[in-house]
Each structure stands twice: as structure tokens, then as C-alpha cells.
Structure 1
Amino acid sequence: MRIVLRKLKTLVKMIMFKFVSLFFQLRYKVNEKKVFFVSDVRNELGGNLKDVYDYLEGKGYDRQVFCKRKRTDKTTKADFVEIAKQLSTAKYILLEDVFDYIGFMHVRKGQEICQLWHGAGAYKRFGFSRLKNEKGNLRIHKGYRKYAKAITSADSIRECYAEAFDIDIGKVRATGIPRTDIFFDKAYIGRKKTELYNEFPQFRGKKVILFAPTYRGTKVRDAAYNFDMINLKEIYQQLGDEYVFVFKWHPAAYNNILLQGKDVYNLEGFNDFYMDLSQNRDINDLLLITDVLITDYSSVIFDYLLVDKPIVYYTYDLEEYSADRGIYYPFEDYVYGAVVRTQAGLIQAIKNEDMMEDKRETFRKRFMEACDGHSTEHVCKWIFDM
């Protein structure tokens, strides 16, 4: 019954959206200079969208923005009308993730929907690529097929994005990822490090461990993490003198983790050793002060390569995860640091700080070769023919 009601609600929303959009299509032509920046996972513009938005300043474009903090927030009537208006009249529609209304909209002649995907590289299967691994009632966003252009971080992975969005590979270009430009900007790096150390003085004189795993579960509402695999007390006892430990949970898992309560996730009583910065939406600034990254199947491995610091893959559930969600290439192709399965192994790998230089260079050429510090410029020249 719940599924039927959800489908009915979606149908009603689609019909209303098409009706309101038709009004704007009949009243207005497509504005050749209008760029609509859309995100429903932020309360303000950020990431690749913000970089492109800033690049266009003073260049004669009408820049319109819609942001919503998270998908669970309800869209107001005013938002609904504004979205319909901008999607109906903008020449360029720029996204960073899935946006449901793209599935409903009619793409007018001359309009271009451009996907500036939030993650670099190609790790976990997404979009239509998930059909190769996952079974059951898997719903894939039909709006993917409407994309006119999509960007990647390397030429060798263009086919992954073409498959995920079910579009011709000619619509995918290795421009590099705009938000990685900061890793080549020495002035920005120096300024941001100073800001972060001033904001978090407990970082001074310590090495910063950033713990940034992806979520488990095929659906956002089921997102979780196995806290049996991280003993907070033991990690503190082993590393507390030399390090600080920062949590950056995936947005899909963060709220669910908090709902589990302090029985499994209590950071109090460890003398400022632990900190949770999950509500900081963008992770790249945190990477600038990170000395050791701990992750697993998260796309943060691609951005972090440009920091040139040690990484540890804590993949206690590798076989299960690979069989369920699926990854594009063999796991070994993604590794440029220590791989561990136990907490004892994790603690030792943090202390070892193995850089694996040869694997880093192979990884860079395969997944990040287009990121050169000028990705924002490359993207804008392609999309806007500048």
C-alpha cells in the first residue's frame, strides 16, 4: 500500500509540474544567457557548481540558483513554481547530483542539461551501471538520459559515466573536476590551513586522521556503519598522544548514525581527540590539513590523491560490498595505500604511513589525469563555448 501511495504521489507531482512548466514554456522563450544551478543536497551553492558560478561572474550570464539542504526537506509551493520556471526557460541547467524534476521536464530545443557530478573518478557503480550487479526492484533515475554533457576526471573512465547515465560517450568529456583546482592553488591552501587551525586549535601540533567511509546499504534510508569495527577507546589509547581523529560521515549515513545514540557513538571523554565534522558539507578543505585518510569505497580517494599524503583502506567487508553495490574495476586498481581488515591492522597502518609511490602514479594516470588546476576553465570553455 505504501508503495502504491508513493507512486501515486509522484504521478500527481509530475502532472502538476508539467502543467506549470507548460505555462512558462508558452509565455517565455529559452533565455540563451540564463544558467540554472541546481542542488537539493545543499543549503547554499558549493562544490563544482560554485566554482563554475564564480567563473561566470562578469561574463554576461544570468545566473539563477536553487539549493535545498537535503532531499528530506519538503519543497514549498514557491520552490515548486520557481523550479518549473527556471527549468523551462534556462539555456543551461547545471547539476551536481540526481535532481528528480529533470525526470519530469520536457527539454526544449536549445536547452542543455549538464551534469557536473559531485565525485571524481569511477569507483562504486551508480545509475544504470548498478543494473549489472543489483537485483530486485531497483529504480534508476530516468532523467540521466536527458543529459547533454557530463564531465569526468580522466579520459579512461568516460565509458563508466556514459554507461551510468545511459548516454553516448561523445557527451562525456574529461575536463577535470572544478573543485580539485584548490589542490593546485598554493595561496588558497595556505589561507585555508590558517583558517582551519584558527577554528580548531586542537589540531595544532598534532597529526590529523580523517575517517571518511562511505555508507553501507543500497538505499539511503538504510545507510549505516558497523560500529563493532571501531573501538573508540582502544584507538584513543593507541594514538591519542600524537594524533587527532576527525569523523566525516557520508550524508546518507550521518542522521541514521546519530539516531543510534551514544551507546555506539559517544565521542565525549577523550580529551578532544575525537571530533565530528560531518555537517561540513564539502570535504576538500579538510583534506588540506589531513595527514592520514581512512576510507573504503568512497570517491574521496580520488581528490585525496592530490594531497599526496598517506591513505588507509579499511575494507572489512570487501567481498560483501563488491557483490552487493558493485565497483567498476577490480578493487586492487583503486589501491595506493595500505588495505586492512581489522582494527589492529588499522592502527598499525596509520602509524606506518606507507605512501606506495608507484601505485599512486598508476592511479593518477588512470583516474585523475585531467585534473591539472584548470578544470573549472576547461569545463566552462566546453559547456559555454567560451
Structure 2
Amino acid sequence: MKRLAIAAATALLALLYRFCRLFPVKRRVVCISRQSDDAPIDFLLLKEELSREEPPYRTVILANKLESPLRYVPVVAKQVFFMATSRAIILDSYCIAVSLLGKRIKAPVVQIWHALGNMKKFGYAALDTPEGHSSETARLMHMHEGYDAVAVSSLNFRDDLAAGFNVDPSIVFEAPLPRVDLLRDPQFRSEQRDAFLQDHPEMAGKKTIVYCPTFRKTPAPNEKEAMRSLLSAVDFDRFNFVYMPHPVSRQALDDPRIITATRSGADPLFAADYVITDYSTVMYEAGLMGVPVYLYAYDWDTYHEKRSFNINLARDVPTLFTNDAAAIATAIDLDQFDEQAFARFTESNIATLAGESATQHLTRRIIALAEEQPPR
């Protein structure tokens, strides 16, 4: 039944795509995300840079979370129209329409993914694991098919991304995400910090800890206990505690002392004096800003069995890696963090480009793909 339903959906998408191809192809790029309902900052930066081209490229950003399959139908239809009438398609996540249409798509499809660097195995490299998808689902949905190019923050991860997307490594190219420019810009960081603190005046006079855990398909058995331990270890008289959940996570921390934030407004990460995470690539973002990072691996014993990694966190990341919340609180209190070692780790995993910004570099690569062939 599932196979027949997907085959019928694919046939309808193909028919819709052929109809939409009757409309003229415009000097336009379409960016598609299902990470959130807000336009991702990477897409906004690309849009601004593409508008500077001569002649300029128009950019359409379609950002919609998949909350309900029925309500997603018109979203997919809109995606197909812009895919059929644009010069290039940029993705930062899995896109159902792209995968099902595959090689029927005439415009080049560029997958830039949504995470800096790489850490955990995903996609095809994590099939049939508790945190991954099943082989049957991947095959039926043609998961991650149809890509013409894949961007990676450093060629250190080329083979890892190629395995995750099941693509030939030759189409993977080095291009850090545009947000790297903002993370490396002291003025922007200062403005964002001021904006976040202005939104939360109650934070004045204290240093700020931002907690950014990774997404888990199922909560860890000891999650509630671990969160109690973490909050008990924080001295709320001296520190603000900001919780920044993963964009698709449903985890909530119910404590009046906590500020729960998202990135829809001023990014709370820019207000951080310290970052606590676990297995998230947010560590690279913090590293680019020179913010101390500590890894709270409270469920490591079970999580590493569910999800394989491309790096050895305990060995390769030069910071505290522990399931002891009190140890992290002590490290923060004593400023125990090797800033230089962590900076070297970050720079080795996020490429530094000579002579152009990350946004300019990625834009240039996208335009080269878009202009390889004249619009049909």
C-alpha cells in the first residue's frame, strides 16, 4: 500500500512539474527548507548577495516545517512550481519533491545542509539505526536523490557527507555556510548580543549560559534526571540560563528561571558567555565566536549505540566531555577552557577562504551551476 501511494504521489508530482515547465524559466533561485517556518539566515544572506549580481538574480525562499501531511500538499505544489521555473534550487534539508522527482528536474539542485561542520552519521550512513531511517523508507522515498552538488564546511568531511547523502564524492565541494561571515564579524555579534539583551532586560548584570542540545528522535531514559542535575548545578544568582532547543525538537524545560529562546528573533547564541551542548555542531558556531564550549553527554552510554559518529568526541574535541553537570558548573566557575586549542579545532573543521566571504564563495558556485546551461 505504501509503495503504491508513493508511486501515485510521484506520478502526480511529475505531471505537475511538466505542466509548470510550460511557464518561462526566470533568472531566479529558489531556496527550500523544512527546518522552520522562518527564512533561514543562510538563505537570507544568499538572497542579498544574489541581488548584487549584474543582472541580479531574484531569490524566493520557501520555508515550511512538515507538521501535517495534508497541509503540506499545497506547500509541495508551490515548491514544484518554483523548481520548474527557476535557474537553480538550493536546499538546506531533505526535500520530498526533489527526491521524488530526481533527475526529472532540469535546474541544478544544490544541497548546502543546515549544520556547520559534521559530527554524527546521518542519512544513508545511519540507516536502520534507532536515530536513523529504515532502508525501506529510504528506498521508497528516494531519500536525498536528485542532487547535483553538495556543499561542505571543510573537505575533511567530504567522504562523510557523500556517505550520508549517498552521492559521488566528486560533487561535494568546500563552501562554509554563509552564516560563518556573521559568526566571524565582531560588530554583528555585538549588535545581536545587545538586541537579545534588550529583549530580555532581566538578564542585565549576569553572565549567560546558553544550552543547545542536539535533536533526539526519542528522549533519553535519564533526560529528566539529567536536566534536574544541570539546573541544580547552575548558580542562578550569578548566571542567566538560556535554553535554545533544536529547531525540530519538542523538548521543553519547565522552570521559571529559564529563558527559552529560538532563532526567530535575535540569536541567543550571540549573547552567550558560555555554551553547553552535547553532540551538536553548534559547538562550531560557538568556536567561531570564541565562546567556551562544554559537552554535557548525560546519555552517552545509550546515545552512541543509537547513533554513530564521524569524530571521537571525547578524544578529538578539546573541551570537557562529561555526564556530570556539577563538573561543567565548576569548569565554568573557574574559567577552565583552552581557548587556543578549541580555536584550532574549529578552524580545522570550518574552512577559511582567501579573498572572499563564505557568502560570496557559495554564491559564486551556485551561479556557475545555474549558468552552465541556458534556461530551457
Shared fold (TM-score, shorter chain, > 0.5): yes
Aligned to 1:184: 184
Aligned to 2:206: 206
Identity %: 19
Distance 1:239 1:73 in 2: 44
For the structure 1 residues 70 and 366, does the alpha-carbon distance in structure 2 shift closer, same or farther, using more than 3 Å as the test? same
For the structure 1 residues 180 and 314, does the alpha-carbon distance in structure 2 shift closer, same or farther, using more than 3 Å as the test? same
Q: Does residue 317 of structure 1 match 2:312? A: no
Q: Is the 8 A contact 1:309 1:355 kept in 2?
A: no
For the structure 1 residues 203 and 169, does the alpha-carbon distance in structure 2 shift closer, same or farther, using more than 3 Å as the test? same
What's the CA shift for 1:317? Answer: 2.1
Distance 2:180 2:103 in 1: 30
Q: Does residue 275 of structure 1 match 2:236? A: no
Matches within 5 A, 1:122-161: 122-131=118-127, 137-138=134-135, 139-140=137-138, 142-161=142-161
What SS class does the counterpart of residue 252 from structure 1 fall into? Answer: coil
Q: Is the 8 A contact 1:103 1:143 kept in 2?
A: yes
Moved more, 363-372 or 191-200: 363-372
Aligned to 1:262: none
Matches within 5 A, 1:6-155: 7-25=3-21, 27-28=22-23, 31=25, 33-59=27-53, 60-72=56-68, 74-75=70-71, 78-108=74-104, 111-131=107-127, 137-138=134-135, 139-140=137-138, 142-155=142-155
What SS class does the counterpart of residue 144 from structure 2 fall into? Answer: helix
Count of equivalent residues: 361
Distance 1:334 1:199 in 2: 37
What's the CA shift for 1:238? Answer: 4.8
Distance 1:339 1:109 in 2: 45
Q: Is the 8 A contact 2:119 2:310 kept in 1?
A: yes
Q: Does residue 231 of structure 1 match 2:231? A: no
For the structure 1 residues 39 and 216, does the alpha-carbon distance in structure 2 shift closer, same or farther, using more than 3 Å as the test? closer
Q: Is the 8 A contact 2:331 2:337 kept in 1?
A: no
Distance 2:13 2:206 in 1: 53
What's the CA shift for 1:96? Answer: 0.7
* Letter of the structure 1 residue corresponding to residue 365 of structure 2: W
Q: Is the 8 A contact 2:98 2:145 kept in 1?
A: no
* Residue 336 of structure 1, aligned match among 308, 318, 327: 318
Moved more, 54-63 or 90-99: 54-63
Matches within 5 A, 1:275-314: 275-277=259-261, 279-281=262-264, 285-314=267-296
Moved more, 148-157 or 81-90: 81-90
Matches within 5 A, 1:341-356: 341-356=323-338
Aligned to 2:366: 383
What are the superposed Cα offsets for residues 17-59 of structure 1, whole Å, 9 maximum, x if unpaired? 122112223x246x26221111123223122111111111243
CA RMSD, Structure 1 to Structure 2 (Å): 2.8
TM (norm. structure 1) is 0.84
Q: Is the 8 A contact 2:215 2:249 kept in 1?
A: yes
* Residue 363 of structure 1, aligned match among 320, 340, 345: 345
TM (norm. structure 2) is 0.86
For the structure 1 residues 226 and 78, does the alpha-carbon distance in structure 2 shift closer, same or farther, using more than 3 Å as the test? closer
* Letter of the structure 2 residue corresponding to residue 294 of structure 1: I
For the structure 1 residues 359 and 275, does the alpha-carbon distance in structure 2 shift closer, same or farther, using more than 3 Å as the test? same
What's the CA shift for 1:247? Answer: 0.8
Q: Is the 8 A contact 1:210 1:290 kept in 2?
A: yes
Distance 2:340 2:190 in 1: 28
Distance 2:127 2:352 in 1: 28
Aligned to 2:374: none
Matches within 5 A, 1:160-175: 160-175=160-175
Distance 1:379 1:152 in 2: 10
Q: Is the 8 A contact 1:40 1:71 kept in 2?
A: no
For the structure 1 residues 75 and 18, does the alpha-carbon distance in structure 2 shift closer, same or farther, using more than 3 Å as the test? farther
